[in-house]
Structures are given as structure tokens and as C-alpha cells.
Amino acid sequence: MTDIDPFANVPHEPGAPKKDPIVIADHVQRRFGGLTAVDVDHFEVQRHAITALIGPNGAGKSTFFNLLTGFDKPQKGEWQFNGNSMKGVSPAKVARAGKVRTFQLTKALNRMTVIENMRLGAADQRGENIFAAFIPTLWRQREIDITERAHGLLHRFQLFEKKDDFAGSLSGGQRKLLEMARALMSEPEMVMLDEPMAGVNPALTESLLEHIVKLKNEGVSVLFVEHDMHMVRRISDWVVVMAEGRIIAEGPPDSVMLNPQVQEAYLGVHHDTDLSEESSS
């Protein structure tokens, strides 16, 4: 936490307004036939903080994630990022606006090398224009800068030795790291991590957590979907709980799990499991 807790006067209730929201969503509704997957009245994400989005399976977390990043379109609703409406904006433009996401099922580009994966994440490479591609002098300097940044990130994520290996040869956890590092190539203002811990072995979990906290310290806003309650408790500043498509509770990690509605939502689904052992599968 910073010296002044940005959540100091934020009420512990669904849809609570934040001091300095980076994401605001209103009346977002996504239906699949008769099923309402997401029905969120109001939602705000605090800037420069780590916000966790949790909830039982089928709560609509991933769908909501897809809506916020342009990968899915809702039937109705308004949402904005950094004050700009993101309604109907394509995933690519959302990313270019500074909000980059990762995926629950890791999308490392397997038959490309680690370093090529990283370079692809960079923004403003003129050589990605087909006409400029013919004239290397237009993009070679940018390529050098990109590669330098990629090397820095790979060092930080302990992937530097693997830089010339095909991404497909990495372990599941390393691919998660690669995906996160790649998302950082464009220096985003916000990263959205969809189950960053899914399928990662415990040894790597620790370093992943550290990386996420480091992101916050560098001024990146983080929103992540997660099942693992240990992780949520350890690193998040604020927790938003979804169940059956709606936000049912918000609050700091310690108190939100004591909320009777949250316990009901979880216990209704897994009434005999310890929440702290909740696994991603």
C-alpha cells in the first residue's frame, strides 16, 4: 500500500465508486440465448492498484473480462478506459489504448522464438506496415530498441537464457511468464490477467506474484481474475466478487471473504471445500 490508502474511504459495497478510476463500466449486460452471463450495474477499477476479480465457476468473470477488452460484445452497456469510451472498440484498439490482456489458456506463439514473441508485443514498429517493411532503414533502429527492451524484460522474468528457443518448448509456467512479459512490451497503463496462476507449479507461483506486485510499484494498474485465494489475499488491494453474472460484493481482501453473501455464493457451489484450497481446475 502507498502512504495514502486509495481505498480509505471507499465503501465496501458492490459498484463502489473509486477515487481515481481507470476503468468504469455501467449497465453491462451479456446474454447467451436465455442465459444472462454478465449483468453488471456499475464497476470501477482504481488506478495504480491491484484489483482481483473472483467468484465461483460460471460467475461470468471471464466473459466480463472479454467484454472489457473488446473480445466479446455485450447486448447493452457503456464502459470506458482512462475516460474514453471503449464501447464497440476492437480488441486491437483497446490494446493500443494501453490496456493489454493475457489469457486463461496461455497464448504463447509456439512456433516462434521467445524473442520474436517479445518483439511482436511492441508498439509503434513502422516495419509492421507492408510498404515500410521493404525498407529496413525505416525500422531497423526501432527493432534494436525493441530488442533491448525485450532483453530487459526477459532478464526480469528469468527467460533470457531461453530467448532463442521456440516458445512451444517452454514449460506451462514459463509460457505464462512469457505472455506477461510480452504484454509489457508495449508499456501498457493497465494489464488484465486472466487466471495468471492456472497451471503454474508452486515454485513459479512465488515469482509470478512478485512480478505482479512489481508492476503495481511501477505504476501499472492490474486487474486479474483468479481462483487461488492465497494469491488474492497476498497481493490484491481490492477484491471484487462476482456470482451469477452480478457483482455481489467488494472490499479489501481480508474482510470481503467474511461477507455472508460471498460465503453463500462460494459454499453454494463447493460446500465442503476449504476456500483457501480452491484450485483452478
Partner 1 sequence: MGDLLIDVAREAFTPTTAAFALAAVGLNFHFGLTGLLNMGQAGFMLLGMYGYAITVREGGPIWLAIIVALVVAMVFGVILGWPTLKLRGDYLAIVTIAAAEMVRYLGRSQNFNSLTGASTGIRGNEFKGSFEALSPFPDRMVDVGPFALHGTRSTSWWLVVVGWALVAIFTLIFWRLSKSPWGRVLKGIREDEDAVRSLGKNVYSYKMQALVIGGAVGAVSGVIWALGASVQPDSMGRPTTFWVWTLLLLGGAATIFGPVLGSILFWCSLVLIKGLAAMWIPDTVLSQQQLQPFSLLLVGVTLMLLVIFRPQGVLGDKRELAFND
Residue ranges in contact with partner 1 by CB under 8 A? 69, 71, 90-93, 95-96, 100-103, 107-112, 116, 119-121, 123, 125-130, 132-134, 136, 139, 143, 166, 168-169, 179, 182-183, 185-186
> Is 260:248 a contact under the CB 8 Å cutoff?
no
Q: State in angstroms the smallest separation of the CB of 251 from partner 1.
A: 30
72 vs 244 by CB, closer to partner 1: 72
Q: Is 37 helix (H, G, I), strand (E, B) or coil?
A: strand
How far is Cα of residue 105 from the mean position of the Cα atoms in its chain?
13
Nearest-angstrom CA–CA distance, 255 and 261: 12
27 vs 107 by CB, closer to partner 1: 107
Q: State in angstroms the smallest separation of the CB of 113 from partner 1.
A: 9
133 vs 275 by CB, closer to partner 1: 133
- Identify which of 192, 257, 194 has the alpha carbon closest to the alpha carbon of residue 25: 192
Q: Which residues pair with 81 in a beta bridge?
A: 23, 84
Q: State in angstroms the smallest separation of the CB of 118 from partner 1.
A: 10
82 vs 186 by CB, closer to partner 1: 186
Nearest-angstrom CA–CA distance, 94 and 234: 29
125 vs 207 by CB, closer to partner 1: 125
Helices 202-217 + 172-184 axis angle, to 10: 10
Q: Is 58 helix (H, G, I), strand (E, B) or coil?
A: coil
46 vs 69 by CB, closer to partner 1: 69
- Count of other CB atoms within 10 angstroms of residue 151: 14
Q: Which residues pair with 265 in a beta bridge?
A: none
Nearest-angstrom CA–CA distance, 107 and 190: 19
Q: Is 30 helix (H, G, I), strand (E, B) or coil?
A: strand
Q: State in angstroms the smallest separation of the CB of 262 from partner 1.
A: 30
Q: State in angstroms the smallest separation of the CB of 96 from partner 1.
A: 4
Nearest-angstrom CA–CA distance, 229 and 254: 11
15 vs 127 by CB, closer to partner 1: 127
Instruction: List helix spans (H) across 85-243.
Output: 91-96, 114-120, 140-156, 172-184, 202-217, 229-235
Q: State in angstroms the smallest separation of the CB of 121 from partner 1.
A: 5
Q: State in angstroms the smallest separation of the CB of 8 from partner 1.
A: 34
